[in-house]
Structure 1
Amino acid sequence: MTYFSEKLTPKASVLISAAVIAGMLGLLGLPFSLTATYIAIVALAIIVPFVLWAMSPKVRIVQAGNGPTGIELQCGRAHIDLAHLGEAYVLDEDGMHERLGVESSGRDFVCYSPWVKTGVVIDNIDDADPIESWVICSRRPDRLVESLKTHTPSR
């Protein structure tokens, strides 16, 4: 069962810009072959935006794993059982900028997407884990925090 799911994809304007720029790179083949140039333009204009979209991380809260609660926070390939998480705080654009800049720590797990300006900080209360907190980009940080509060046993 999925309680929260969000894919941190680029905006449509970014994907269109990537397609245009990638297609323009296909023009580099013009001195060699006109047919190859047309193929390169079309292929690059399709492949580059698809790769940007496909490689975007997904943030989910799902019923999975065999941890204490059986409910996990998944950020890309990283995952943690909700029993090991403490308080969650919403970060606006300025707060996210500060947290990833001046207040950053080498002991934070960061799920970053350059396309998303807001996020969440979640305290890690597992003493055996060297990670102090999870910093996660999210377009819907309020819904993520609410879902965490609803399903985390420590709250």
Structure 2
Amino acid sequence: MTLYYERMWPTPWIFVITALVIPASILVFLPINPLAGYITAGVLYVGIVLFLSLTSPIISVTHETLRAGQAAIPVEFTGETRSFLAGEAVLERGVHLDARAWLVIRGWISPVVKVTVTDPADPVPYWLLSSRHPDRLEAALAEAKTGAPADR
């Protein structure tokens, strides 16, 4: 049973910004062939939207496993979890970051959750995960570890 599921979709402003490829393509092709510009603009924008959508990582928690992006770890090897918001999140993604950490972060999602790895054979000290709902992610991990529903 899935206790937590989040797909890190890009925010709407990312799609607005990438829409700037439309006028840029039209301007490039306008002297050659306006129709080619419109077609290229449409194809490029659709391609960008598809790429952003299909490559959005997923974070999920079950009673057995924490999955983040391409990696998975048994819940029994997760330790303390702590969420960081605003300025603290910037510090965790920046100056406090350990180069060995497993990262699934996106710039358009500010809060992060730090999950300590307790497996002595794993060289990764912790996972740092972007989450729009850090409190729910922490609660799901606590529930997975204890087997009892956590206060949400």
- How does the TM-score come out when normalised to structure 2? 0.89
Other-structure match for 1:36: 36
User: Do structure 1's residue 77 and structure 2's residue 70 form an aligned pair?
Assistant: yes
**1:107-126 correspondence runs (5 A):** 107-126=100-119
- How far, CA to CA, are the matches of 1:108 and 1:53 in structure 2? 25
1:13-28 correspondence runs (5 A): 13-19=13-19, 21-27=20-26, 28=28
2-structure distance, mates of 1:43, 1:62: 38
Contact 2:65/2:74, CA 8 A, preserved across alignment: yes
Quote the offset at 1:53 in angstroms.
2.2
Q: Which AA in structure 2 matches 1:92?
A: L
Equivalent position to 2:92, from 99, 110, 113:
99
1:33-83 CA-to-partner distances (Å, cap 9, x unmatched) read 2221111121122221221222121111136xxxxxxx1111111111101
- The count of corresponding residues between Structure 1 and Structure 2 is 147
1:110 Cα deviation after fit: 1.1
- Gap regions ≥5 residues in structure 1: 64-70
Counterpart position of 1:130: 123
Match of 2:16, SS state, is helix
Asked if the contact 2:62–2:144 (Cα under 8 Å) also holds between the matched residues in 1, the reply is no
Q: What's the secondary structure of 1:26's corresponding residue? A: helix
Match of 2:139 in 1: 146
Aligned equivalents of 1:73 and 1:11: distance in 2?
24
Following superposition, the deviation at residue 154 of structure 1 comes to: 9.9
TM-score of the pair, normalised by structure 1: 0.87
C-alpha distance in structure 1 between counterparts of 2:66 and 2:12, whole Å: 27
> 2:95, 2:8 → 1: CA distance?
24
- The percent of aligned pairs where both chains have the same amino acid is 25
**Structural RMSD (CA):** 1.8
Segments of 5+ residues of structure 2 without an aligned counterpart are none
The structural deviation recorded for 1:24 is: 1.9
User: Structure 1 segments of 4 or more deviating over 2 A?
Assistant: none
